[in-house]
A = this chain, B = another copy of it.
Amino acid sequence: MPKVDLDAIEQVNRTGYPPPFDEQVGGRWYRRLAPATGLSDFGVSHVTLKPGSWSSQRHWHNGEDEFLVMLDGEAVLVEDDGRTVLRPGDCASWPKGSTNGHHLINESAHDCTFVVIGGGTNTGGGYSDIDLIFTPQGTYAHRDGTPYGGTKRPG
Protein backbone atom coordinates (compact mmCIF):
# COMPACT_ATOMS: atom_id res chain seq x y z
CA MET A 1 0.00 0.00 0.00
CA PRO A 2 1.71 3.23 -1.11
CA LYS A 3 0.19 5.42 1.57
CA VAL A 4 -2.99 5.51 3.58
CA ASP A 5 -5.83 7.13 1.65
CA LEU A 6 -7.31 9.01 4.58
CA ASP A 7 -10.22 10.36 2.54
CA ALA A 8 -11.33 6.81 1.77
CA ILE A 9 -11.73 5.93 5.45
CA GLU A 10 -14.94 6.94 7.19
CA GLN A 11 -14.52 9.82 9.62
CA VAL A 12 -16.90 9.63 12.56
CA ASN A 13 -17.56 11.47 15.82
CA ARG A 14 -19.50 8.75 17.58
CA THR A 15 -18.99 7.97 21.22
CA GLY A 16 -20.42 5.54 23.72
CA TYR A 17 -20.06 7.95 26.64
CA PRO A 18 -23.27 8.16 28.62
CA PRO A 19 -24.75 11.68 28.72
CA PRO A 20 -23.70 14.25 29.73
CA PHE A 21 -20.12 13.00 29.26
CA ASP A 22 -20.57 12.84 25.48
CA GLU A 23 -20.94 16.59 25.08
CA GLN A 24 -17.27 17.54 25.16
CA VAL A 25 -16.28 15.05 22.46
CA GLY A 26 -18.86 16.03 19.83
CA GLY A 27 -16.17 17.84 17.86
CA ARG A 28 -13.78 14.86 17.93
CA TRP A 29 -13.69 13.45 14.40
CA TYR A 30 -11.67 10.29 13.95
CA ARG A 31 -10.70 7.57 11.53
CA ARG A 32 -9.72 4.06 12.64
CA LEU A 33 -6.71 3.36 10.46
CA ALA A 34 -5.67 -0.08 11.70
CA PRO A 35 -8.57 -2.25 10.55
CA ALA A 36 -8.91 -0.22 7.37
CA THR A 37 -5.29 -0.91 6.44
CA GLY A 38 -4.89 -4.49 7.62
CA LEU A 39 -3.17 -3.90 10.95
CA SER A 40 -4.12 -5.91 14.02
CA ASP A 41 -1.15 -5.71 16.42
CA PHE A 42 -2.16 -2.25 17.65
CA GLY A 43 -4.84 0.36 17.07
CA VAL A 44 -4.30 3.63 15.20
CA SER A 45 -6.68 6.56 15.29
CA HIS A 46 -6.28 9.66 13.14
CA VAL A 47 -8.10 12.37 15.04
CA THR A 48 -9.14 15.95 14.31
CA LEU A 49 -10.42 18.07 17.18
CA LYS A 50 -12.60 21.03 16.33
CA PRO A 51 -12.03 24.18 18.41
CA GLY A 52 -13.32 23.58 21.93
CA SER A 53 -13.45 19.83 21.62
CA TRP A 54 -11.85 17.27 23.90
CA SER A 55 -10.03 14.11 22.80
CA SER A 56 -11.84 12.17 25.53
CA GLN A 57 -12.82 12.47 29.12
CA ARG A 58 -9.62 12.49 31.16
CA HIS A 59 -8.80 8.80 31.56
CA TRP A 60 -6.26 6.02 31.89
CA HIS A 61 -6.04 2.40 30.73
CA ASN A 62 -5.22 -0.44 33.10
CA GLY A 63 -3.87 -2.70 30.37
CA GLU A 64 -3.18 -0.68 27.24
CA ASP A 65 -0.22 1.54 26.39
CA GLU A 66 -0.97 4.72 24.45
CA PHE A 67 1.26 6.93 22.31
CA LEU A 68 0.34 10.18 20.55
CA VAL A 69 2.07 12.41 18.05
CA MET A 70 0.73 15.84 17.14
CA LEU A 71 0.52 16.53 13.42
CA ASP A 72 -1.18 19.87 12.93
CA GLY A 73 -2.44 22.73 15.08
CA GLU A 74 -2.14 22.62 18.84
CA ALA A 75 -3.94 21.30 21.89
CA VAL A 76 -3.50 21.37 25.62
CA LEU A 77 -2.63 18.09 27.31
CA VAL A 78 -4.16 17.95 30.79
CA GLU A 79 -2.85 15.55 33.43
CA ASP A 80 -2.82 15.39 37.23
CA ASP A 81 0.28 17.51 37.39
CA GLY A 82 -0.63 20.25 34.98
CA ARG A 83 -1.17 21.46 31.46
CA THR A 84 1.21 21.22 28.48
CA VAL A 85 0.69 22.66 25.01
CA LEU A 86 1.37 20.07 22.29
CA ARG A 87 2.45 21.32 18.88
CA PRO A 88 3.29 19.50 15.62
CA GLY A 89 5.99 16.93 16.21
CA ASP A 90 5.38 16.71 19.95
CA CYS A 91 4.95 13.18 21.29
CA ALA A 92 3.32 11.83 24.45
CA SER A 93 3.40 8.37 26.03
CA TRP A 94 0.96 6.98 28.56
CA PRO A 95 2.04 3.64 29.95
CA LYS A 96 -0.74 1.27 30.97
CA GLY A 97 -1.55 1.12 34.63
CA SER A 98 -0.59 4.69 35.46
CA THR A 99 -3.65 6.34 37.02
CA ASN A 100 -2.44 9.81 36.02
CA GLY A 101 -5.33 10.48 33.64
CA HIS A 102 -4.83 12.42 30.42
CA HIS A 103 -6.74 14.10 27.66
CA LEU A 104 -6.26 16.84 25.08
CA ILE A 105 -8.38 19.98 24.78
CA ASN A 106 -8.33 22.10 21.66
CA GLU A 107 -8.39 25.57 23.17
CA SER A 108 -7.30 27.17 19.90
CA ALA A 109 -9.41 28.76 17.17
CA HIS A 110 -8.36 26.15 14.58
CA ASP A 111 -8.63 22.42 14.07
CA CYS A 112 -5.83 20.27 15.41
CA THR A 113 -4.90 16.79 14.22
CA PHE A 114 -2.97 13.95 15.82
CA VAL A 115 -2.37 10.23 15.51
CA VAL A 116 -2.79 8.05 18.58
CA ILE A 117 -1.70 4.42 18.94
CA GLY A 118 -3.06 1.92 21.43
CA GLY A 119 -1.77 -1.55 22.23
CA GLY A 120 -2.17 -4.27 24.80
CA THR A 121 -5.37 -5.74 26.20
CA ASN A 122 -8.39 -3.90 27.54
CA THR A 123 -8.60 -4.70 31.22
CA GLY A 124 -10.65 -1.63 32.00
CA GLY A 125 -9.69 1.83 33.14
CA GLY A 126 -10.82 4.95 34.89
CA TYR A 127 -11.70 8.61 34.51
CA SER A 128 -10.03 11.20 36.68
CA ASP A 129 -12.72 13.83 36.99
CA ILE A 130 -16.11 12.12 36.70
CA ASP A 131 -18.10 9.19 38.09
CA LEU A 132 -17.22 6.81 35.26
CA ILE A 133 -15.14 3.72 34.60
CA PHE A 134 -14.85 1.45 31.59
CA THR A 135 -14.84 -2.29 31.96
CA PRO A 136 -12.93 -5.15 30.33
CA GLN A 137 -16.19 -5.91 28.53
CA GLY A 138 -16.20 -2.52 26.85
CA THR A 139 -19.09 -1.08 28.81
CA TYR A 140 -19.34 1.97 31.04
CA ALA A 141 -20.18 1.97 34.72
CA HIS A 142 -20.24 4.23 37.74
CA ARG A 143 -17.18 4.00 39.98
CA ASP A 144 -19.16 1.73 42.30
CA GLY A 145 -19.67 -0.71 39.42
CA THR A 146 -23.31 0.11 38.66
CA PRO A 147 -23.77 -0.05 34.87
CA TYR A 148 -24.77 3.08 32.99
CA GLY A 149 -27.05 1.12 30.72
CA GLY A 150 -26.81 0.34 27.06
CA THR A 151 -23.77 2.41 26.22
CA LYS A 152 -20.71 0.69 24.82
CA ARG A 153 -17.32 2.00 23.77
CA PRO A 154 -17.04 2.26 20.00
CA GLY A 155 -14.93 -0.52 18.51
Contacts and interface: CB of A to CB of B under 8 A. Distances in A.
A37 B94 CA distance: 8
A41 interface: yes
A120 B113 CA distance: 26
Contact of A92 (B1, B94, B117): B1
Interface stretch (A17-25, A66-74, A132-140, A144-152): A66-74
Contacts of A44: 67, 91, 93, 117
A93 B44 CA distance: 10
Best-surrounded residue of A33, A37, A82, A86 (most CB of chain B within 10 A): A37
Interface string A31-62: 00110011111101010000000000000000
B2 A82 contact: yes
Most buried by B among A41, A42, A88: A41
A6 B71 CA distance: 16
A3 B84 contact: yes
Nearest to A6: B91
A107 interface: no
Nearest to A82: B2
8 contacts: A1-B94, A2-B77, A3-B92, A37-B93, A38-B95, A41-B65, A41-B120, A69-B71
Interface of A: 1-4, 6, 33-34, 37-42, 44, 46, 64-65, 67, 69, 71-72, 77, 79, 81-82, 84, 86, 88-96, 98, 113, 115, 117, 119-120
